[in-house]
A and B are shown apart, each in its own frame.
Chain A
């Protein structure tokens, strides 16, 4: 396990590369999902309001 983590002496190159990739790509995924959820909530509220205003 220690040898695996050491990456032949290049741990400081290999692990940050994978770490940065994960942070950027998963970060964008999470950001996009949260933005989608927020917009859906906003849209639902607007459509409900529109429905209400139609009912005399």
Chain B
């Protein structure tokens, strides 16, 4: 992993790899999401208990997985920035935070909509829901902190420390449904003893999850490129100010 990070740390190399990966990610995201949406909305049978509300799962669960995956990536990038001072790691972490916040918002809102007919409530302050809400605030905190200082590096460092410390929330989210009594059901796909949901529902879920992952790559590459430009703009403006002085 560190060697992979080192090799990607050069912005020029990143731009080259990103230009090659980007079109594939776009095609994959469009194909998988198109296929997954039709499958989830039309062909998946209604659940014998939950009826058609189960279709919410095909956006809720991939969004929830991506919300945690995105944070894990951000935490690794932050460690890399704090230890090796890779500027690109800082840019990628900055680029990731709004994406993670968006996936977390999707997971929270769709979960809440799903909760009403199945649990009888939109919201409950139980361990799973609360820890995911904390994840959302961690993302917002990262976004605010990384832009809170005039010195870009200081902001990046403060946000990176927040991201690393906040990573403790990931196992809390994952195991909250086992450690505490919650309304939320325990895992039915990512389990040690294998998935417990029927393949007619599992496959479209995996397709949607892969589609969300490809969409994440598309967003991330666009946003990192944008962050690289923002940094270059800052450098040029500083040069201009210095020359004018």
Question: How many A-B contacts if CB must be within 8 Å?
Answer: 93
> Which of B13-21, B83-91, B112-120, B199-207 lies at the interface?
B112-120
| CA A47 to CA B229, docked complex, whole Å | 12
| CA A35 to CA B224, docked complex, whole Å | 11
Q: List 16 A-B contacts (CB under 8 A).
A: A13-B114, A14-B52, A16-B113, A17-B59, A17-B60, A17-B110, A17-B113, A17-B114, A18-B37, A21-B59, A28-B219, A36-B222, A36-B229, A39-B226, A43-B229, A50-B236
Which partner residue on chain B sits nearest A4 by CB separation?
Answer: B42
Question: Of B59, B60, B117, which is in contact with the most chain A CB atoms at under 10 Å from its CB?
Answer: B59
Interface residues on B, range: 35 or more
Interface residues of B (CB under 8 A from A): 37, 41-42, 46, 51-53, 55-56, 59-60, 63, 98-99, 102, 105-106, 109-110, 113-114, 116-117, 215, 218-219, 222-223, 225-226, 229-230, 232-233, 236-237, 239-240, 243
A53 to B: closest C-beta gap in Å? 8
**B56 and A17 within 8 A (CB):** yes
Tell me the interface secondary structure of chain B in the complex.
helix
Q: Is A8 at the interface (CB under 8 A from chain B)?
A: yes
Q: Note all chain A residues with C-beta closer than 8 A to B63.
A: 21
Tell me the interface secondary structure of chain A in the complex.
helix
**B117 and A10 within 8 A (CB):** yes
Q: Note all chain A residues with C-beta closer than 8 A to B110.
A: 17, 20-21
